[in-house]
């Protein structure tokens, strides 16, 4: 076994679902939400617009969206101590969360150290699903019991759902759970299977490259830098955040595909039949039950 490959079997005494495994993704999600909401303040402090009209527009937006307007800003700018704490905590929480996560019984058991990035994205996605469901239940309660619906729950759910859709794609790639068609793949020799693998990863990387290359200016300079809002009463920055996230996640998926190709290169070829798929699912369920 390569030193770069980790398996859950090497850590039999460690259990999944510990308090820290819940804390890190939840804290990361909370800090990321705060940082994203106050991004206009960061932009004005770090890379302020040269255009005076745009600067005034961003300034008014930053002041209007500030959750803690009574806390004085640091260094005479727009960001306060909570904004700085949330921003600086993000890389710390991500590293700690990725280092301390444990592979669940239902997940792919073999993984490399670099796979922890995609695995932690999966944990963050799980927290987002819980948060999104909580927001929906809260809105249902207010709408049908109290008869006082909110102006933000529907759009917040839509916003989080966009992130869930994107981040789950990266996690699915790491878990090899994306849709694949094996009719031709299973009947060809191993050298040709590897050629198919290289070709598919190459096409994915080409797609990712041209997607980023063709839309970088439109997404990051127009949508993100000008912080385009949704234009409603709640007015979340969905266009300014979801579109850049698409490019980031597609790039990460392409990188993860290359990682998968390298990790699976010397594996014994698998034969995919309906019976084998059922067996794999049953084994995963069995491991999950035994882990509990």
| pLDDT for the residue 2 | 45
Please compute the mean of the pLDDT values over residues 179-191 and round it to a whole number: 85
Please compute the mean of the pLDDT values over residues 167-196 and round it to a whole number: 89
Beta-carbon contacts of 126 under 8 Å, excluding residues fewer than 6 positions away, are 25
pLDDT over 90 percentage in the chain: 69
Q: Nearest CA to 98 among 82, 78, 112, 87? A: 112
Q: Which helix (H) or strand (E) holds 212?
A: helix 190-216
Contact 133, 125 (CB under 8 A): no
SS3 call for 151: coil
Strand extents, DSSP E, the chain = 5-7, 110-112
DSSP letter string, 157-197: HHHHHHHHHHHHHHHHHHTT-S----TTGGGS-HHHHHHHH
CA 171 to chain centre: 8
| pLDDT for the residue 11 | 41
Least confident of 105-114, 179-188, 216-225, 271-280: 271-280
Please compute the mean of the pLDDT values over residues 32-49 and round it to a whole number: 95
Kindly tell me if the per-residue pLDDT of 276 is higher than 60: no
Kindly tell me if the per-residue pLDDT of 277 is higher than 50: yes
Least confident of 149-163, 181-195, 224-238: 181-195
CB-side neighbour CA atoms (13 Å) of 47: 7
């Amino acid at each position: 076994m390569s030193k770069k490959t980790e398996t859950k079997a090497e850590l039999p005494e460690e259990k999944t679902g510990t308090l820290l495994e819940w804390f890190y993704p939840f804290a990361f999600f909370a800090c990321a939400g705060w940082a994203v909401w106050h991004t206009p303040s960061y932009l004005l402090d770090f890379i302020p617009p040269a255009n005076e009209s745009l600067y005034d527009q961003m300034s008014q937006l930053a002041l209007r969206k500030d959750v803690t307007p009574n806390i004085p800003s640091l260094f005479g700018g727009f960001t306060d101590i909570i904004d700085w704490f949330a921003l600086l905590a993000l890389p710390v929480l991500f590293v700690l969360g990725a280092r301390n996560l444990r592979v669940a019984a239902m997940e792919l058991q073999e993984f490399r150290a670099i796979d922890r990035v995609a695995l932690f994205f999966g944990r963050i996605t799980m927290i987002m699903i819980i948060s999104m469901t909580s927001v929906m239940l809260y809105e249902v309660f207010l709408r049908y019991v109290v008869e006082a619906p909110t102006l933000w729950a529907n759009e917040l759910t839509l916003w989080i759902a966009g992130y869930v859709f994107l981040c789950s794609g990266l996690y699915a790639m790491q878990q090899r759970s994306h849709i694949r068609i094996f009719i031709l793949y299973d009947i060809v020799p191993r050298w040709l299977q590897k050629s198919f693998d290289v070709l598919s990863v190459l096409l994915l990387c080409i797609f990712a490259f041209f997607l980023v290359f063709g839309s970088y200016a439109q997404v990051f300079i127009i949508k993100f830098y000008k912080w385009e809002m949704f234009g409603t009463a709640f007015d979340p920055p969905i266009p300014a955040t979801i579109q850049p996230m698409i490019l980031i996640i597609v790039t990460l998926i392409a990188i993860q595909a290359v990682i998968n190709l390298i990790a699976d290169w010397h594996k014994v070829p698998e034969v995919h039949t309906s019976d084998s798929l059922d067996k794999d699912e049953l084994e995963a369920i069995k491991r999950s039950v035994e882990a509990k």
